[in-house]
């Protein structure tokens, strides 16, 4: 069988471990031929491919980013949903001209939706969930998340000492445009005092009261972790908005930090390497068993798979009932609503 692998959407640490997991299992265990499709779905259209073999898949396990390149899939998405049948015929023709028996698409929610649409067109496709945001529906965790949480936790740990020395409020903005998982986990792991998530919203009075109460209790500084997706009433970044409002309303000196792409770059954590390796191996097995139209997933302690039709178009979000939110609440950490 001939297998194509592509990565699409924002990169995440662990993509290369996954490509290696799929490729080496497909080649060494199942005797398949594997090609890499460059720069996301556009590489499929332009047949921009490289041959992947055991030697070319070596030495990439600990590499950040993706050796195949990646891209947001706007043009491809337009073609696949286009009213003009010719666009979809072009996609199918590219797949067949490459001689593919299956296409493995590594990506986040948008990619899973596109992969499902490809399988609806009659192409053999398998999805592998990837994002630092951890918001892919149908899997308990995505690779990239653990690495991002490690980086964000270290960043907040470092803010504690400077905040304490200057008796300041520190606001740190972390990635997560729809889901606050990184902010929740890194905030809880690093002892943030206020954790603001897009899913929960906030009441500014609750935030201000919490900071004032901490100061009254003799706590010289406060750390506020806010997800980039928290909606604010101005055009500013959430970190800028909250830092200004907090300083104005409390009179305490406040500083902001936006951690940004540091969270997505660099070498994957051991956990993410293992997760990518296992998910990749499972994807190769699904191809061998000709179980297409599925997304590989981590469910509890097992590596499994779910139908793409069940995950397409859905998001996995934090809920107020999430264990970690409830535990934070019990410990007196503010989530902006309590
Ligand atoms: O990978 C997810 C994510 O990091 C989001 O948290 C963020 O909003 C987005 O990607 C930004 O990525 P880009 O600038 O590459 O579109």
For residues 296 and 243, membership in a common domain is answered with: no
337 lies in some domain: no
CA angle 194, 140, 74 (to 5 degrees): 90
Q: Say whether pTM exceeds 0.95.
A: yes
Domain count, the chain: 2
Residue pair 94/53 in contact (Cβ under 8 Å)? The answer is no
Cα-to-centroid distance, 96 and ligand 1 (Å): 32
pLDDT in tens, 56-109: 999 999 999 999 999 998 889 899 999 999 999 999 999 999 999 999 999 999
CA angle 73, 93, 36 (to 5 degrees): 55
For residues 9 and 128, membership in a common domain is answered with: yes
Buried b or exposed e, range 39-67, using 16+ CB within 10 angstroms: bbbbbbbeebbeebeeeebeebbebbbbb
For residues 136 and 223, membership in a common domain is answered with: no
Which ligand 1 atom lies nearest to the CA of residue 175? 6
Is the CB of 177 within 6 Å of ligand 1? yes
Q: Is 18 exposed, middle or buried (0-12, 13-18, 19+ CB in 10 A)?
A: buried
User: Residue 222 is part of a domain; what is its CATH number?
Assistant: 3.40.50.460
- Which domain, by its residues, includes 40? 2-144+268-310
Cα-to-centroid distance, 10 and ligand 1 (Å): 6
Cα-to-centroid distance, 248 and ligand 1 (Å): 30
pLDDT in tens, 211-268: 999 999 999 999 999 999 999 999 999 999 999 999 999 999 999 999 999 999 999 9
Please choose, from the candidates 20, 31, 3, the residue with its C-alpha nearest in 3D space to the C-alpha of residue 59: 20
The token duo for 159 is: 């803010």
**Considering 241, 261, 281, which residue would you say is the last residue of a domain?**
261
User: Residue 80 is part of a domain; what is its CATH number?
Assistant: 3.40.50.450
pLDDT in tens, 291-304: 999 999 999 999 99
For residues 155 and 192, membership in a common domain is answered with: yes
Which ligand 1 atom lies nearest to the CA of residue 261? 4
For residues 139 and 276, membership in a common domain is answered with: yes
């Amino acid at each position: 069988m001939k297998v194509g692998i592509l990565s699409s959407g924002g990169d995440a640490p662990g993509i290369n471990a996954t490509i290696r997991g799929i490729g080496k299992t497909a080649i060494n265990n199942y005797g398949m031929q594997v090609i890499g499709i460059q720069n996301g779905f556009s590489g499929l259209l332009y047949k921009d491919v490289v041959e992947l073999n055991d030697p070319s898949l070596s030495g990439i396990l600990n590499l950040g980013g993706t050796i195949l390149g990646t891209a947001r899939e706007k043009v491809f998405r337009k073609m696949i949903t286009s009213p003009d049948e010719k666009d979809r015929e072009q996609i199918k023709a590219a797949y067949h001209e490459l001689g593919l028996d299956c296409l493995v698409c590594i990506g986040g929610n948008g990619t899973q939706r596109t992969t499902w649409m490809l399988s609806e067109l009659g192409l053999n496709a398998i999805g592998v969930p990837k994002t630092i945001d951890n918001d892919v529906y149908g899997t308990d965790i995505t690779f990239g998340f653990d690495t991002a949480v490690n980086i964000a936790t270290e960043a907040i740990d470092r803010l504690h000492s400077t905040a304490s020395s200057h008796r300041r409020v520190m606001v740190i903005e972390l990635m997560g445009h729809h889901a606050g998982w990184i902010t929740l986990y890194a905030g809880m792991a690093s002892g943030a005092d206020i954790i603001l998530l897009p899913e929960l919203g906030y009441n500014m009075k609750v935030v201000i009261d919490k900071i004032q109460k901490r100061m009254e209790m003799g706590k010289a500084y406060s750390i506020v972790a806010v997800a980039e997706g928290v909606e604010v009433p101005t055009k500013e970044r959430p970190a800028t908005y909250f830092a200004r409002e907090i300083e104005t309303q409390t009179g305490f000196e406040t500083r902001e930090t936006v951690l940004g792409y540091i969270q997505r770059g660099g070498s994957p954590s051991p956990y993410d390497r293992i997760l990518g390796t296992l998910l990749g191996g499972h994807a190769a097995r699904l191809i061998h068993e000709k179980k297409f139209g599925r997304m590989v997933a981590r469910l509890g302690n097992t590596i499994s798979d779910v139908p793409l039709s069940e995950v397409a178009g859905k998001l996995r979000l934090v809920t107020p009932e999430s264990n970690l939110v409830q535990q934070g609440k019990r410990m007196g950490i503010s989530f902006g609503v309590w």
